[in-house]
């Protein structure tokens, strides 16, 4: 017979499976589960008039050492109401800092200002907070961020369905140089969308680089929502007042999203006056390399100087005639490949960089025959910008230019 609950000696508190029915006079302090496994769900139950014992027992259990790295999800007592997070700021600091390998998420909780700072300050905003009510609407987090004074780099910030989003977006816009956002931020936080769109459209969005990732693993309705929102966002980037210089769209693996993004990106390339770098990291058409519609539109853009792709996984690399012709006419645009932290792509990086460089080299070999030193110097500057990631090939071009210069000088002397 399975054990229904585990009493904790002399406290009046017990730990039970998450759906265990409680008795009159009892309350659930918090619920938790490990590694996103619903079968591991537990709840801490105690007397309504003895929250101190309930808090103490929950803290002691959460402080126990792990035998291996864990992902721990801590939730409020009910999915329908936001119960107060019972752990004190000091207790939160202890369980977060003393378990550096443990990943945390907190959900369906009401959080005061001191607790909110503890939740974000020790892991650079990497602890996931969802469906949480911030009593101060996130003002304490903003105050803490302001005190960092540029000392920290925050890899991401993700607060789905939390009422702190508006204040955070308002703070991030004028105070960071690069903003990296999971697309879930926009899907789950409808209230967080409007400030970003408005800031991009009117030029008050100060970050010069915007990176949006995780365009994958969505159902059809969610994918449609993403496509609609990204259409609005990219339309805002196409505004003549937008100051964004770099845009990176990563982990695009759903065709329905890729098609929507392609159409929106074509609009951006037609109207944007500020974009200099575009990253499209996709392994499906129509956005996988070479994405000729995007490249053809980019060739008409006045300021775009770099386009980044995933390296395709085909072996050996095949550079088709359309791309060769495009590159012949657009030597000033740098084509780069980035594995974007995807281990499956990394082995193909060097091959594709070399393949594109070989096309570039074939064009340069002919151009370096020019007698005019200024023309050759201009071509070499283009090569340095375009092929800086392949130093051995640059060495080849520099040596060839030196050899050509010697021949030209000898010809002048003979004349």
Kindly give the confidence (pLDDT) of every residue in the chain, 415 residues in length, as a single tens digit, with 9 standing for 90 and above.
Answer: 344 555 566 678 888 888 888 888 888 888 888 887 777 788 888 898 888 998 999 999 899 988 888 889 998 876 556 788 999 999 999 999 999 889 998 988 999 999 999 999 887 777 888 888 999 989 999 899 888 765 565 655 667 778 887 788 777 766 667 777 777 766 666 666 777 788 888 888 878 888 888 788 788 888 888 888 889 889 999 999 998 999 999 888 899 999 999 999 999 999 998 999 999 999 889 999 989 999 999 999 988 988 999 988 876 667 778 888 888 778 778 888 888 767 788 888 878 877 776 776 665 555 556 566 666 666 666 666 655 555 655 666 666 666 656 554 555 445 5
Each domain of the chain, given as residue ranges in start order, spans 1-163, 177-310
Q: Is 310 left (phi over 0), alpha (psi -120 to 50) or beta?
A: beta
**How distant, in Å, are the alpha carbons of 197, 231, 299 from that of 105?**
28, 31, 45
Q: CATH number for the 177-310 domain, one of 3.80.10.10, 3.40.50.300, 3.40.225.10, 3.40.50.11260?
A: 3.80.10.10
Give CA–CA dist 305/212, Å, rounded.
Answer: 20
Closest by CA position to 333, among listed 393, 401, 276: 276
User: Residues 210, 183: contact at Cβ < 8 Å?
Assistant: no
**Does the model's pTM come out above 0.85?**
no
Which residues is 132 bridged to in the sheet? none
104-142: b (≥16 Cβ within 10 Å) or e: bebbbbebebebbbbbbbbbebebbbbbbbbbbbbebbb
**CA-CA distance, 111 to 70, in Å (whole number)?**
23
The closest of 97, 139, 98 to 121, measured between CA atoms, is 97
Which residues neighbour 260 within 8 Å (Cβ) at sequence distance 6 or greater? 226, 227, 228, 230, 231
Q: And the tokens for 307?
A: 């386009």
């Amino acid at each position: 017979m399975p054990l229904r609950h585990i009493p904790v000696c002399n406290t009046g508190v017990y730990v039970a499976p998450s759906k265990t029915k409680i008795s009159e006079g009892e309350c659930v302090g918090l619920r938790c589960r490990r590694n996103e496994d619903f079968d591991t769900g537990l709840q801490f139950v105690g007397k309504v008039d003895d929250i101190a014992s309930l808090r103490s027992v929950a803290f002691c259990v959460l402080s126990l050492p792990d035998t291996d790295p864990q992902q721990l999800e801590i939730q409020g007592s009910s999915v329908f109401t936001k119960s107060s997070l019972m752990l004190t700021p000091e207790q939160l600091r202890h369980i977060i800092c003393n378990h550096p390998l443990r990943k945390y998420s907190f959900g369906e909780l009401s959080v005061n200002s001191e607790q909110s700072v503890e939740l974000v300050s020790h892991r650079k905003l990497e602890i996931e907070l969802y469906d949480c009510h911030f009593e101060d609407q996130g003002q304490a987090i903003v105050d803490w961020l302001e005190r960092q004074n540029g000392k920290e780099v925050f890899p991401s910030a993700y607060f789905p369905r939390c009422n702190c989003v508006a204040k955070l977006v308002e703070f991030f816009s004028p105070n960071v140089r690069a903003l990296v956002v999971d697309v879930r931020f926009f899907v789950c936080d409808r209230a967080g969308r409007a400030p970003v769109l408005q800031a991009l459209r009117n030029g008050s969005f100060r970050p010069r680089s915007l990176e949006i990732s995780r365009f994958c693993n969505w159902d059809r309705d969610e994918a449609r929502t993403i496509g609609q929102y990204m259409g609005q966002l990219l339309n805002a980037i196409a505004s003549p007042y937008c100051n964004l210089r770099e845009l990176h769209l990563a982990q695009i693996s759903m065709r329905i999203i890729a098609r929507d993004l392609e159409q929106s990106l074509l609009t951006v390339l037609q109207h944007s006056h500020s974009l200099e770098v575009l990253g499209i990291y996709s392994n499906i058409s129509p956005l996988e390399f070479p994405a000729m519609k995007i490249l053809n539109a980019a060739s008409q853009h006045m300021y775009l100087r770099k386009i980044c792709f995933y390296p395709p996984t085909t072996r050996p690399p095949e550079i088709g005639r359309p791309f060769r012709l495009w590159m012949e006419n657009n030597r000033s645009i740098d084509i780069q490949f980035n594995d974007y932290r995807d281990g499956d792509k990394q082995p193909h990086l060097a091959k594709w960089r070399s393949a594109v460089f070989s096309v570039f080299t074939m064009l340069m070999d002919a151009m370096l025959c020019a007698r005019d030193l200024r023309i050759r110097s201009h071509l070499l500057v283009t090569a340095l910008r375009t092929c800086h990631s392949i130093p051995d090939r640059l060495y080849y071009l520099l040596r060839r230019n030196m050899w050509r210069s010697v021949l030209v000088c000898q010809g002048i002397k003979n004349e």
